[in-house]
Structure 1
């Protein structure tokens, strides 16, 4: 039995084409992740969602796209929902993050009051494969926290979409330095 969990990070309507903070290739990545979730070589899969109510300075009328962003993934809007190209049958749980603050890492998220690290350990997960949106922000933060929490961590670059080439390159350097295994070629829209 494998001890691998797939972490599907923020594959939400607002982060895909047509959303308020769209990342080029988001819809295609959702479709590609669905194909990965139909394989049988992992123990379980979970998804994370940005789930904002009032995240303070994280939202801005004049965002800098580093620390502040246009409003996105607001609770009660269609933008917060997982993208329809993402097949959810294999997803065991959805973890929400960022209700009242910026939250980039899936390890800041909770499901039924339980944090992601604790939830994975309760299910004897020792390794994670991180996929989703965006390579240079939430995927990066989640993978770095996965390593910090003691999980053997892989990022499937072919199943991620990034915001900008320069920040993706910087993120990949950070991930490699932290001991994250990088597999595949980053998605290019």
Structure 2
């Protein structure tokens, strides 16, 4: 069974305070990826901060309030959310994780608690899409690898965007070096 992790496809990262044309461009591709899922598990994560964000460790390094719980920027992109709801008709299990930092501490217990009769050993492959490649995609890839060390994990580069195009590429280099499968990557040819 395939696990598709859709990381932080939230308004603030797409067209809000931390948005970018690259993030906006991946929305239809992420929707298409969700639409292609049948009989799998789709987990969405949401970067979740509170009004004291600027006092947090992250806020001290990135002093741009974003994804504050209850705001429009915290919300999931409506096209992505609609695709996830439609995916339930194709027998996909779906879940949502509000995470207070870059990565989530994935564990078998999460899947057992969320899906009751589900056996985490049924997961045979993991694919990751979303935002930002150089923060939350990278962090969740690493924690998923720790939770599922013997399962292939793929990152679809065409369904991810970084805080900048340069950081996106650097993060993909690191992920590839750490034995993640990177698909749909378009590299510029160096002459």
With normalisation by structure 1, the TM-score equals 0.78
Task: Name the counterpart of 1:77.
Answer: 71
**Max Rg structure:** 2
Instruction: For 2:130 and 2:143, locate their aligned partners in 1 and report how far apart those are by CA, in whole Å.
Output: 15
Q: Does the Cα contact within 8 Å between 1:73 and 1:79 map onto a contact in 2?
A: yes
With normalisation by structure 2, the TM-score equals 0.78
Residues 120 and 157 of structure 1: is their aligned pair in 2 closer, same or farther, counting only changes over 3 Å? farther
Q: Does the Cα contact within 8 Å between 1:12 and 1:79 map onto a contact in 2?
A: yes
Task: Name the counterpart of 2:59.
Answer: 59
Select the structure that is richer in helix: 2
Gaps spanning 5+ residues in structure 2: where?
88-92, 113-118
What are the equivalent positions in structure 2 for 1:17-96 lying under 5 Å apart?
A: 17=15, 19-41=16-38, 43-53=40-50, 54-55=52-53, 56-60=56-60, 67-86=61-80, 87-89=83-85, 90=87, 92-96=94-98
- RMSD, matched Cα: 2.2
Gaps spanning 5+ residues in structure 1: where?
61-66, 109-114
Instruction: For 1:179 and 1:22, locate their aligned partners in 2 and report how far apart those are by CA, in whole Å.
Output: 29
TM-superposed deviation, 1:184: 0.4
